[in-house]
Amino acid sequence: MGYGILEIGAQTRQQGMAGLRDAASREQEVETANKSLKSARKTQTMSSIGTGAAVGTMVMPGLGTAIGAGIGFLADSLF
């Protein structure tokens, strides 16, 4: 009939392996999403620093660039 204890064991093993593959796939998706979020955050920080530096340069070329970059970094950190 095909309902022997060995066949039931094999089916159970196959289901367990499918569950492990599913879990590994989801873990990989989470890791990829976390890497993407980290990269986006770094890009946002660099953009804020660049914007601050540009505004600082417009206000006071030279020293204003460094001050503006610092303010841009702080503003990104706060928000």
User: pLDDT tens for residues 14-54?
Assistant: 999 999 999 999 999 999 999 999 999 999 999 999 999 99
H-type alpha helices, the chain: 5-59, 63-78
Cα dist from 12 to 9, 20, 21, 24, whole Å: 5, 12, 14, 18
Q: Tell me, yes or no, if the pTM score tops 0.75.
A: no
- 51-77 confidence digits (pLDDT tens): 999 999 999 998 999 999 999 999 988
The rounded distance, in Å, linking the Cα atoms of 50 and 59 is 14
